[in-house]
Amino acid sequence: MKQIKSTTIDNWGERTQRGRKVFFVKATSEVEVPGVSLVVTQLLDLHPTPGTVFAVTCTALAAGFAREEKDFETVMTSFEPLPDMTVAAFRAPGNLGAVRAVVAKASGDAAWAGVARVANRGRPMAQ
């Protein structure tokens, strides 16, 4: 994503959440949106289930992340993957490399949506 100028991985790993394995990453990125440079911190959880991977993201300006962190933790730990409640979906070919590429694109798209939300806080989102 060319809008992201640099990214630092602050923390990553896996945890067990209600008996399921969840992979997580916390990253801080310098991003450029038209006319604005921002430093944002993002959380991303991946919840693999048979046949589906669910991604959950939260984004805040890095300077204000500490104020939002408790709420973000609530969002991340309360997520329960329910196939009937899918907001966005994609299909990936059956080979691992292609699945990784599709998950990376979906995660990047979700991360960019979070950056756009933070950048436009207080202003209507551009259509």
**pTM more than 0.85:** no
Residue 29 confidence (pLDDT) above 50: yes
- Return all residues near 5 (Cβ < 8 A) that are at least 6 apart: 29, 30, 31, 32, 37
At 86-116, the pLDDT tens digits run 555 555 445 555 555 655 665 666 666 666 6
Domain 4-119 carries which CATH code?
3.40.1000.10
Torsion angle in degrees (nearest 10) through CA of 47, 72, 113, 7: -90
pLDDT of residue 100: 58
Write out pLDDT tens, residues 42-85: 999 998 888 778 888 999 999 999 999 999 999 999 998 876 66
Task: Name 93's Cβ contacts closer than 8 Å, sequence gap at least 6.
Answer: 99
Query: What average pLDDT score do residues 24-52 get?
Result: 87
pLDDT for the residue numbered 65: 93
